[in-house]
A and B are shown apart, each in its own frame.
Chain A
Amino acid sequence: MSFMQRIIDFFSRKSTVTKGGGDKAISKQKAGGKMTARERIAALLDEGSFHEYDLFVEHKCQDFGMGDKELAADGVVTGSGTIAGRPVCIYAQDFTVAGGSLGLMHARKITKVMDHAIKMGVPIIGINDSGGARIQEGVNSLAGYGEIFYRNTLASGVVPQISVILGPCAGGAVYSPALTDFVFVVDQISKMFITGPEVVKTVLGEEISMEDLGGARVQAETAGNAHFFANSELECFEQIRTLVGFLPDNSRNKPAIIEQKRPKASYKIEELIPKDSKIPFDVRDIVRAIVDDSEFFEVQELFAPNAIIGFGRINGETVGIIGNQALFLAGVLDIDASDKIARFIRFCDAFNIPLLTLMDIPGYLPGSDQEHNGVIRHGAKVLYAYSEASVPKITVILRKAYGGGYIAMCSHHLRADFVFAWPTAEIAVMGPEGAANIIFRSEIMAADNPEEMRKLKVKEYTDKFANPYVAASSGYVDAVITPEETRAAIAHALQLTRNKQEARPDRKHGVPPF
């Protein structure tokens, strides 16, 4: 073969493989409103930045007539590229090739690019669109999944791991996304479940659609497995690019500090708090009044809305923000909110992102469903995660700070580096009504007019304890500040804690209440 022939031969081979499953399969993929694997990568990464590896990998299966079957790139596209100029590793399963089914070589391509990401210290993004295990390959296909899960665990807390569900992701396959840091779903396109609707029907007699069992909305709103919900694949890619912008490349680095901006003038912090402490406000507005350009990038917006988590910047520096949201369930901690908060804290701690906690908590959610489903062990995760975190921890007590909830939401006692409280803060064992009913029970019962006496005692308790000064008198609050001073106080605290070092007892690892 002449040089020219070799070049022509190469392009011919390449073009065959990059066609994936061929025209028919591709038009079927598009008819379902989905992009192809290569289109997705091109749309997500910086234009023209993608470099593909292992294009010519082939499966080795000889059984069940697989010997003479060619599967382009073995059904997965792998490589690296950049997002806003920063390198990332990426893979995308190609549903047009044998339904994106996972065989041994398919899995090896994925684990190879994962190993690459870990070694190079760059984020890894996985786009899932697969019918599941390639049955013909038997246990080798299961081995492939196992190798991926093992690497997800190795990479955890080393490089940011992002999973994008753009098609089915069922059975054991769901555990790779579940082990990663952030899961992105798209309405009507993403489907995740351990067992599908057919099995559910056979075993339990329950009729449920795929969408209702494990569609994007269910995963983002009810199950909490997904962190970001989008209406289109392009919107989803925009979300991923925004997220990556807040993160460092790996756990050895800090997120980049970008040019600082003032919050938008339309968010006037002093006007956002209602006069009556029983009327809720949107804590996200407080966040927007504090962070650069009023830009708050919320994580798990639809799940457990009684707590909010997300990223913002203060003086150009990425901050992980956690807040109690009085708008929903009065901002209580419950099982879902605890899980949501605890996981986020651990992510931020692993990737050197300071934690800002906005406290407005009336306590925990009462009820048999909460108790029986383990609110004790789930709630304990929040205490563990905050105590364990060694990144800068800054807490602002906005209003309510009652009982166990006060301790849990990054109080001085769990080693917050700075606890600020607004003059509206109420730091006490419980709300004035509950407390007065207990402390003054006999006096209230003995009174000629118990209701009058109750009101009197509630007022007495409120005047004495529903303020920040009792806690401040013991040094549990470092400074009482006005809402207007909040941003400056946090910015200074971040500056001061930048080189924070905190020694921990030597151990293999802790045993959090998973």
Chain B
Amino acid sequence: MSEQQFCEIALEGGTYETRLTKKFTQRKPYEKDDPRVIKALIPGVIAEIDTQVGKAVKKGDTLMILEAMKMLNRIKAPQDGTVKAIGVAGGDKVTKGQVLIEIE
């Protein structure tokens, strides 16, 4: 086999010529969690929105209800703050990881 097929990988002790696996190249880069951005943990439908942009919220306030797996999931404020943006409207279908609301 020719050396052209190889690429370099850097490890603790040095760099090596090798091939990469599909899993390795498809691995997800680390993203730091931003507590101010609330994302849907599960796909579903926005049943109701209980807040509006500019409104002051306290930690634990219910901001909206996401209906998923036949359950009404309360989406609560993770911290005190003001609602900066709402990414969805009532009745919207949301996918996993979709941004629902931002707080500042």
Contacts and interface: CB of A to CB of B under 8 A. Distances in A.
A278 B7 CA distance: 11
21 contacts: A203-B43, A204-B42, A204-B43, A204-B96, A221-B22, A222-B22, A278-B14, A328-B21, A330-B18, A336-B23, A362-B12, A362-B16, A365-B24, A366-B11, A369-B27, A369-B28, A402-B13, A431-B11, A434-B11, A434-B13, A434-B14
Interface in B1-51: 3, 6, 9, 11-24, 27-30, 42-43
Given A327-B19, A328-B19, A362-B12, 8 more contacts: A204-B43, A278-B17, A280-B17, A326-B16, A330-B18, A368-B29, A369-B27, A431-B13
A367 interface: yes
Contacts of B24: 329, 365
A367 B11 CA distance: 10
A401 B97 CA distance: 42
Given A203-B69, A205-B43, A280-B6, A329 B12 contact: no
Interface residues of B, number: 27
Contacts of A432: 13-14
B43 A431 contact: no
B95 interface: yes
Chain B CB count within 10 A is highest, among A328, A329, A369, for A329
Contact of B11 (A332, A336, A372): A332
B9 A329 contact: yes
A306 B21 CA distance: 8
A200 to B, nearest CB: 11
Chain A CB count within 10 A is highest, among B15, B20, B23, B93, for B23
Contacts of B22: 221-222
Interface string A426-439: 00001111110000
Interface in A359-382: 362-363, 365-369, 372
A309 to B, nearest CB: 16
Interface of A: 203-205, 221-222, 278-280, 304-306, 326-332, 336, 362-363, 365-369, 372, 400, 402-403, 430-435
Chain A CB count within 10 A is highest, among B6, B9, B18, B20, for B18
Given A328-B18, A328-B21, A433 B27 contact: no
A330 B16 contact: yes
B85 to A, nearest CB: 23
Contacts, number: 90
B23 A330 contact: no
Contacts of A304: 21
A12 B67 CA distance: 59
Nearest to B69: A203
Lowest 8 CB-CB distances: which A-B pairs, in order?
Answer: A431-B13, A433-B14, A330-B16, A368-B30, A431-B14, A205-B43, A430-B13, A434-B13
Contacts of A400: 13
Nearest to B68: A203
Interface of B: 3, 6, 9, 11-24, 27-30, 42-43, 69, 93, 95-96
B103 to A, nearest CB: 25
A156 B54 CA distance: 62
Contacts of B12: 362-363, 366, 402-403, 430-431, 434
A403 B16 CA distance: 16
A280 B13 contact: no
Contacts of A203: 42-43, 69
A280 B18 contact: yes
A279 B13 contact: no
Contacts of A280: 6, 16-19
Contact of A279 (B3, B11, B27, B95): B3
A300 to B, nearest CB: 13
Nearest to A330: B16
Contacts of A329: 9, 18-21, 24
Chain A CB count within 10 A is highest, among B21, B27, B29, B42, for B21
Contacts of B18: 280, 326-331
A403 B6 CA distance: 25
A362 B14 CA distance: 9
B43 A362 contact: no
A278 B15 CA distance: 8
A466 to B, nearest CB: 10
Contacts of A306: 21
A362 B12 CA distance: 8
Contacts of B15: 278, 433
Contacts of A433: 13-15
B17 A362 contact: no
Contact of A330 (B3, B11, B28, B42): B11
A433 B30 CA distance: 27
Nearest to B28: A369
Contacts of B9: 329-330
Contacts of B27: 367, 369
B51 to A, nearest CB: 25
Contacts of A205: 43, 93, 95-96
